Amino acid sequence: MIGILLVTHGEFGEEIKRSAELIIGPISNCSAISLNRDDSITNLKDEVEETLESLNKGEGVIVLVDLVGGSPFNVCSVILKKRRNFKLLSGLNLSMIVECAMMRDSLNLEGLTQQCKQTGINSVVEVNP
């Protein structure tokens, strides 16, 4: 099973995971890491690396972060340069995590990444009267 890691500013990751679980039920092999105001970037990096190891059951891990250029994104990008067993997507939204959790058993890591990316893009819709 592909692991899911949410790395976000504040408690956004944990809360969006809880919201997704309201829709689809418990999401196994999924963790959220929060970066709060006084947290150390070094500690964040260590926590991300540890969590990647624990979530990787052999099929890799998809990492979803909230904001391009933010500290969670930057830390994960640096780790990505050293490892190839995970994929990184920015712009985390509820549609992405629901799709990710529902499709990860039927796609490989690359396919799941592309599916989640497209779902995130498609979930931004302007509604006009």
5: pLDDT confidence band, cut at 50, 70 and 90? very high
Q: What is the mean pLDDT of residues 36-61?
A: 96
Query: Does residue 129 belong to any structural domain of this protein?
Result: no
Half-sphere exposure at residue 8, Cβ-oriented, CA atoms within 13 angstroms: 17
CA distance 39 to 36: 5
Would you state the pLDDT for residue 82? Answer: 86
- pLDDT tens across 64-110, in order? 999 999 999 999 999 998 887 899 999 999 999 999 999 999 999 99
Query: Does residue 121 belong to any structural domain of this protein?
Result: no
pTM: 0.95
Query: Does residue 118 belong to any structural domain of this protein?
Result: no
Percent of the chain with pLDDT over 70: 100
Tokens of 95: 């549609």
Query: Does residue 19 belong to any structural domain of this protein?
Result: yes
Amino acid occupying residue 93? N
Would you state the pLDDT for residue 84? Answer: 77
Would you state the pLDDT for residue 3? Answer: 98
* pLDDT over 80 (residue 61): yes
Nearest to 61 by CA among 7, 121, 120, 123: 7
Q: What is the mean pLDDT of residues 32-37?
A: 97
Query: Does residue 40 belong to any structural domain of this protein?
Result: yes
Query: Does residue 124 belong to any structural domain of this protein?
Result: no
Query: Does residue 58 belong to any structural domain of this protein?
Result: yes
Query: Does residue 122 belong to any structural domain of this protein?
Result: no
Would you state the pLDDT for residue 85? Answer: 87
Q: Which CATH number do you get for residue 71?
A: 3.40.50.510
Domain that holds residue 89: 3-108
Count structural domains, the chain.
Answer: 1
Q: What is the mean pLDDT of residues 14-31?
A: 98
